[in-house]
Chain A
Amino acid sequence: MEKDNYDILEHELVPKHVVLSKEESKKLLKRLKVKPYNLPWIRASDPVCKRIGAKPGSIIKIIRKSPTAGITVYYRFVIPG
C-alpha cells in the first residue's frame, strides 16, 4: 500500500467547492435576501472544508452536476462543528 495522500477533490462524487470572497458573499446574501444562517450549512469539520481551508462564517459555492438541469449552483454556510 502506498502512503501518498489521496486528494478527495478529484473524486467523482465530490462536486466543485469554491469559497466566496467577502464581497461575493455580501452580493449573494443581498440577491437572495437572506441571512447567512438561512442558507444550508456545511460543517467546518467536513473533509472538503478542511481540504480547501474554509473557516466558519464563510460561504461556499458548490457547482453541482445535476441530472435534470445540467449544472446547478448551491450555497452552503460554514458553521463550526
Chain B
Amino acid sequence: MKLSKYFVKKLRNEGVSEYVIRKLQEKLSTYQEIPTKVLKKIVEKVIEKYNSALIEPSENIGVVTAQSVGEPGTQMTLRTFHFVGVKELNVTLGLPRLIEIFDARNKPSTPTMIVPLKKPYSQSKDKAMKVAIKLEELLVEDILTDHETDENAMEVILYLDKDAMKSRDVKVKDLKALLQKIKNVKVLYSESDPSVIRISPLQQLNIKQLNKLKDRVLNLKIKGISGIRRTVVRRVDKEDGTFEWVIATEGSNLKDMLKVPEVDRNRVYTNDIFEVYNVLGIEAARIVIIREAMKVLEDQGLDVNIKHIMLIADAMTRTGKIKQIGRHGIVGEKPSPLAKAAFEITTKHLYDAAIRGAIDELKGVAENIIVGQPIKTGTGKVKMYFDIMKYIENLAS
C-alpha cells in the first residue's frame, strides 16, 4: 500500500515533517490494501497527533526539560562503579557521571575509548589482540622486576624482566637506545648479567635529585599511545548477525588514536567530551554529550526522552565552547543581576551590580517575579488590547 499523492500533499500542507511522512509510508508499505476511507482517517489522525506534539511559541521548554531530567535523577542510585563486559573495565556511571557531564568537567574520572578496527583485524581475536598490545602504553617500569637507587655509587639500577620483555616484544637493544637519549647520564651494562642496567649521572647529584632521575627513567615511554593504560578486546555482535572485535581502553587519547592505521578511524569513540571538542569540534562534542547522558540514564532504567537531553546539549554548546550548567556556565552568563542574585550567592551579585551601576532590563523570568510583574513567557508573552469603541459600535448595531 502506498500513500497517494493527494495524501502526501495534504500532510505537507499541514506542515507535517518529511521524516514523519517517510515513516508513515514505510509503515503503510507493510500492509496489502487499505480502503481510502480508513486511509483518510489515518492521515487525519497523523496530522492531529503531529500538531498536538508541537511546542507552541514561548512555551517554557527549559523548565519542562529541567523537570523531566531532574525527577528521574532523584531516583538514580548512587552506585558508582559498574563492570562492563566480561573483563572488568571500570567506568563511572550513575549520578556522579551525569554530574560530570553537565558540569563540563575537563577530564572524566574514568576516560575510556571504544576503538573499532579495520577489516582483517576486526574479524579475528588474535589479530585484534596484537593491535591492542601495540596501542597499550608501555613504560620502562612495566618491564622491570625491580629497581633501586644505589646511594653509595650514586646510580640507578634497573633489573629487567625477561618474560615481560618477551611478551611485550621489547628488545634490549631498543631499550638501550631509549636510555641513551637521557641527557647528562652514562648508561652501564654488565657483561655477565645482561638483565642489569646501571645508570650513573655525569654530574654530582644529591639523593633527592637521584630519586627524581629514577622516576624519570621509570616513566619513559617505550611504545604505545600515551594515556592508554589498559586494553580489553571485546566481541560485538551486530544486528545483521555479523560480529567484530573491538578494543575497549582505559585512558583516552583521541588525537593519537586517529593516527593508527589499523584502527577504523571514522568510528573511534571516547567518553572524554573535551577531547572530542578539541579534535573534532563543537558539533561532535554535542553528539557525545547526548550519547553519554542518554547512556547513563538508560543504564539506570530511566526513560527520559532524548529531546530533553538534546536541548541541554544545545544550550551547553551554544557559545561555541562547552559551558557547564550552573553558576559558571549558562546561569553565570545571564545579563540580569537580579536573576543571578536569585540563583546563588545573593549578596555578592547585588554588591557587584551596585558597584558597576548595573541596569536590569527585567526581561527574564526571575527578575519579573522578584518585582511582581507578569513574566514574559507563555501566555504572558502576548498582549491583548480591547477596542472599546468597536465593541460599542457592535452593540449599537
Contacts and interface: CB of A to CB of B under 8 A. Distances in A.
Interface of A: 1-3, 6, 8, 10-15, 17, 40-43, 46-49, 62, 64, 66-71, 76, 79, 81
Contacts, number: 84
28 contacts: A1-B256, A1-B261, A2-B260, A8-B279, A10-B265, A10-B266, A11-B266, A14-B280, A14-B281, A14-B283, A40-B317, A40-B319, A40-B320, A43-B282, A43-B320, A43-B321, A47-B279, A47-B280, A48-B280, A48-B282, A48-B283, A49-B281, A68-B307, A69-B17, A69-B19, A70-B18, A70-B19, A81-B320
A79 B258 CA distance: 28
Interface of B: 17-19, 22, 256, 258-261, 265-269, 276, 278-284, 287-288, 306-307, 310, 314, 317-321
Given A48-B280, A68-B307, A13 B314 contact: no
Interface secondary structure of B, over-half rule: helix
B22 to A, nearest CB: 7
A81 B319 CA distance: 11
Contact of B283 (A17, A67, A81): A17
A59 to B, nearest CB: 13
B280 A71 contact: no
B282 A46 contact: yes
Contacts of B268: 11
Contacts of B261: 1-2
A41 B284 contact: no
A40 B316 CA distance: 11
Given A13-B276, A47-B278, A48-B281, A6 B18 contact: no
> Which of B267, B288, B314, B319 gathers the greatest number of chain A CB atoms within 10 Å?
B319
Contacts of A8: 279-281
B258 A6 contact: yes
Contact of B319 (A41, A48, A66): A41
B196 to A, nearest CB: 32
Given A69-B19, A70-B22, A79-B320, A1 B260 contact: yes
A15 B259 contact: no
Contacts of B269: 13
A76 B283 CA distance: 10
Contacts of A10: 265-266
Contact of A13 (B22, B278, B287, B307): B287
Contacts of B314: 40
Contacts of A81: 320
Nearest to A50: B281
A69 to B, nearest CB: 5
Contacts of B321: 43
B288 A13 contact: yes
A42 B374 CA distance: 35
Contacts of A48: 280-284
Contacts of A66: 310
> Which of B268, B314, B320 gathers the greatest number of chain A CB atoms within 10 Å?
B320
Contacts of A15: 283-284, 287
B280 A13 contact: yes
Given A6-B265, A42-B282, A62-B283, 14 more contacts: A6-B259, A11-B265, A11-B266, A13-B269, A13-B280, A13-B288, A14-B280, A40-B318, A43-B282, A43-B321, A47-B280, A48-B283, A49-B281, A71-B19
